[in-house]
Amino acid sequence: MKTLLYFSISLILYSQFSFTQSAKLDTQEVKVLKQIWGKLGLEDKNEWDFDKDPCSPGRWQLFVVCDCSFESNTTCRVTQISISSQNISTSLPTEFTKLQHLQILDLRFNYLRGTIPSEWATMRLSNLSLMGNRLSGRFPTTLTRMTTLLELDIEANRFSGPIPKEIANLKNLDMLDLSSNDFTGHLPAALAKLTNLTNLRICDNNFTGKIPNFISQWTKILRLHIQGCSFEGPLPLSISALTQLKDLRISDLKGGASTFPSLEKMPHLSILVLRNCLIRGTIPNYFRDMVNLSTIDLSFNNLTGEIPSSFSQLENVDYVYLTKNNLTGPLPGWVFSSTKNVDVSYNHFTWDSSSGPKTCEHEKINVVESYSSSSTNQRNIHPCLWKDFPCTKSDAQKINSLHINCGGREVNINNTIYESDTEKKGVSPYYNAGNWAFSSTGNFLDDDHDSDIYILSNTSSLYDISTSSSELYTTARKSAISLTYYGLCLKNGHYTVRLHFAEILFTQDKSFNSLGKRVFNVYVQGELKLKNFDIVKEAGGTGRAVIKNYHVIVKNNTLKIQLYWAGKGTTGIPVRGSYGPIISAISVDPIVTS
């Protein structure tokens, strides 16, 4: 983020400058800082020494940057303040306005409440970050009067209502992040006037209507994220005008179908996510010229035809997700010979005995349920490759109960053995434990980790969970996009399926770690059971168990439970890349009928 870069450079420059100068912070600004620290509840902490000049080297230097060129290099003025991750729970002080040379204000990751003071409209900030707080109310019109802003980040707060037309006043904005609030209504045409935008994120809101065609006015845009916003399809044709894009993410549209958008004039594109956008038709061949692509996610659409041969020429691609489409033809050989992570599960490919996979267990490839039902007559195809994962065991080998400790070791809970589920395979793994299996899709974007972690261990305390069953909730399996568990070779009949959940990443306190929100959908046997499921909301807090019970009829010896992330919930608390569905345990027991 540019704010952090500016702040770091300024710290270095100032530390070099301050050793050779005797300039001190203006006495009036010292008083203002003391007032601000007092209003924020920081003054009483021992680490703040107001007897020491705030512009001198030391602890202050981590939070305050000064310009000491005033009055012939004898007086300093505060130009930047960064007070992040301090869990401050007050409202925003109006006293910031008294620092007339303040340009950058970073108050991310706290517990701030209230709204933006109207007095702030007089501030001449270039960068303002309020991400990860409890600020609420309508979109603050105060912000629309701060016309000097270049970067504005209010992600992960509790703002609501429509985006006001006055946002057009912020014509200098380079970066705007409105994600993870509760904004509603149509995107106003006033946004079209923000033609200097290079970075726009509006994910996880509750907008209405379609993605407007006026996005074509953002010709400088490099990064555009529109995920989980409740927009209707189709994708706007005007997206083709955004030729400078490097990172495009749109997901989970409703309603009208889309044709594949024209992206061939985007040579710089590195990350492309068009997931669950109701795209139909074939995949275009122009991908061969998009040499900078590293991630392609076209999953959960209605794409047909064969995988283009041009995909084999994408040397820089690390991740290819074509999951849950209607792709046909033989699986191309490059899928199995490349070093890329490729997920082609849940499609309708045609079996080719000379090149087709013999099993679903590959290190970087997911091919579960990837072949059409017409291929199921081929005896040499492993059942995991067939549609609906049929059972090939005899009746004597079939089971009538199943218990899994998702992400954890084997445990005995009230004389019931929950099987171990500690497989740590990577991006899109398939794992078969004999009586059950799981298939996962997706890597966590933006988390800056070379390898993602797909098993959570509790960082929050457990509440109101009996000691005997607590071991079910100390771990959970998670996924970035989709996680499917299979009960294999169950006897046909009626079952009670219990899905166990507990939020064990976020905390229950007055810190920014408590402000995360995880939201996902749950399907059982293909039927949507839980939409926008929020464990914390359902349980009444973190570290509390929620058990969902379902009466399920198994007809073809296979039980299928799917968790799907539809772009909702926060993605940056406590760290970037914290999102996606989790599950603690699964139990399946027969219903005895008389």
For 246, 328, 345, the CA distances from 151, given in Å and listed in that order, are 19, 45, 40
Bridge-based pairing of strands 279-282 and 258-259 is parallel
For 12, 201, 389, 436, 439, the CA distances from 562, given in Å and listed in that order, are 50, 28, 14, 13, 9
pTM, whole model, 2 decimals? Answer: 0.93
The domain limits of the chain are 1-197, 395-590
| Identity at 344, one-letter amino acid code | V
As given in the structure block, the two tokens for residue 502 are 């507990």
> What does the angle CA 574 – CA 575 – CA 578 come to, to the nearest 5 degrees?
85
> 395-590, which class in CATH?
mainly beta
pLDDT value of residue 264 = 95
Matching residue, tokens 């979109």: 139
**H-helix or E-strand containing 31?**
helix 27-39
For 33, 143, 145, 309, the CA distances from 123, given in Å and listed in that order, are 16, 10, 9, 55
Per-residue pLDDT of the chain (594 residues; tens, 9 = 90+): 545 555 554 554 444 444 435 899 999 999 999 999 999 999 766 668 888 999 988 889 889 999 999 999 999 999 999 999 999 999 999 999 999 999 999 999 999 999 999 999 999 999 999 999 999 999 999 999 999 999 999 999 999 999 999 999 999 999 999 999 999 999 999 999 999 999 999 999 999 999 999 999 999 999 999 999 999 999 999 999 999 999 999 999 999 899 999 999 999 999 999 999 999 999 999 998 899 999 999 999 999 999 998 898 898 999 999 999 999 999 998 998 888 999 999 999 998 877 788 889 888 999 999 998 765 455 678 899 998 899 999 999 999 999 999 999 999 999 999 999 999 887 889 999 999 999 999 999 988 776 788 999 998 889 999 888 999 999 999 999 999 999 999 999 999 999 999 999 999 999 999 999 999 999 999 999 999 999 999 999 999 999 999 999 999 999 999 999 999 999 999 999 999 999 999 999 999 875
Backbone angles phi, psi at 257, to 5 degrees: -75, 155
Residue 11, classed as helix, strand or coil, is helix
Residue 373, classed as helix, strand or coil, is helix
Query: Of 237, 240, 308, 309, which Cα lies nearest the Cα of 269?
Result: 240
C-beta separation of 203 from 567 below 8 A: yes
- Which of the 8 DSSP states describes residue 140? P
pLDDT value of residue 234 = 96
> DSSP string covering 52-115, please?
S-TTSSSGGGGTEEEEEEHHHHTEEEEEEEE--SS---SBPPGGGGG-TT--EEE--SS--BS-
Residue 324, classed as helix, strand or coil, is coil
pLDDT value of residue 15 = 46
Query: Of 390, 356, 362, which Cα lies nearest the Cα of 376?
Result: 390
pLDDT value of residue 368 = 96
C-beta separation of 432 from 479 below 8 A: no
| Chain mean position to CA 540 | 23
- Dist CA 153 CA 130 (whole Å): 6
pLDDT value of residue 82 = 97
Contacts of 555 (CB under 8 A, 6+ apart): 492
As given in the structure block, the two tokens for residue 98 are 């008294």
CB-CB neighbours of 144 under 10 Å: 20
> 1-197, which class in CATH?
alpha beta
User: Burial, 534: exposed, middle or buried (Cβ in 10 Å; 0-12, 13-18, 19+)?
Assistant: middle
